[in-house]
Amino acid sequence: MNFRERLEWLFRMVLLVFILESAALLSAITAMRIDIHGREVRMPNLVGKNVADANSELRSRGLVLRVADRVYSEQTINTVVRQTPSPGLLMKVSQQAHVVLSLGQRQLQIPSLEGNSLRVSRIELLRAGLQVGEVSTLTLPDVTADTVVLQNPKPGAGGASPRVDVLVSQGSRE
């Protein structure tokens, strides 16, 4: 083999290695692109749907439902209140959708405040997870000052609002 034949053989080998390396690089780039982007689906709007319906809709798209929290709300029990990620966002198949479910309306037990001072009434309401709403005053000669005369809602009632309005006596007008 003379010098020219060796040079041609070397050139062919370099060209062959270059072609093989190029093919490997293109294959790797294509595989990474497919792996990174994969199969993507749009996140549906789950707010207002029952948890069973939301779960079946996500499963049909290849997504997984995960309950992140439960809160009291105006919606019925086990209804989706919030979701993450937002509706319409592109997600890869098998990713999780985090939802917050409703516990329904909070049923509060209203304590009896009538006959207590306004300060004691505030403390009792705070213990029950409630707040004093509107405080109205009235002059009543036969009732001591700073005493709750009436309340709304009535004691024992289950209410959805955390506020209790009270009517407080100012005592007599001397």
Question: Mean pLDDT over residues 144-148, rounded?
Answer: 92
Check whether residue 95 and residue 53 sit in a common domain: yes
Task: Report the C-alpha gap between 127 and 135 in whole angstroms.
Answer: 19
pLDDT tier for residue 150 given thresholds of 50, 70 and 90: very high
| pLDDT, tens digit (0-9, with 9 covering 90-100), for 117-145 | 999 999 999 988 888 999 999 998 888 89
Check whether residue 118 and residue 165 sit in a common domain: yes
More confident position, 134 or 38 = 134
Task: Report the C-alpha gap between 71 and 75 in whole angstroms.
Answer: 10
Split into its structural domains, the chain has a count of 3
- Per the structure block, which two tokens stand in for 172? 């007599």
Q: Among 102, 125, 149, which residue terminates a domain?
A: 102
| pLDDT, tens digit (0-9, with 9 covering 90-100), for 87-107 | 999 998 889 999 999 998 877
Residue 96, domain extent: 40-102
Check whether residue 15 and residue 53 sit in a common domain: no
Residue type for position 86: S
The three-state DSSP-derived secondary structure of the chain is: CCHHHHHHHHHHHHHHHHHHHHHHHHHHHHHHHHHHHCCEEECCCCCCCEHHHHHHHHHHCCCEEEEEEEECCCCCCCEEEEEECCCCCEEECCCEEEEEEECCCCCEECCCCCCCEHHHHHHHHHHCCCEEEEEEEECCCCCCCCEEEEEECCCCCEECCCEEEEEEECCCCC
Q: Strand pairing of 158-159 and 108-109?
A: antiparallel
Residue type for position 35: D
Q: Indicate the pTM of the whole model.
A: 0.54
Give the CATH number for residue 124: 3.30.10.20
What pLDDT was estimated at residue 159? 63
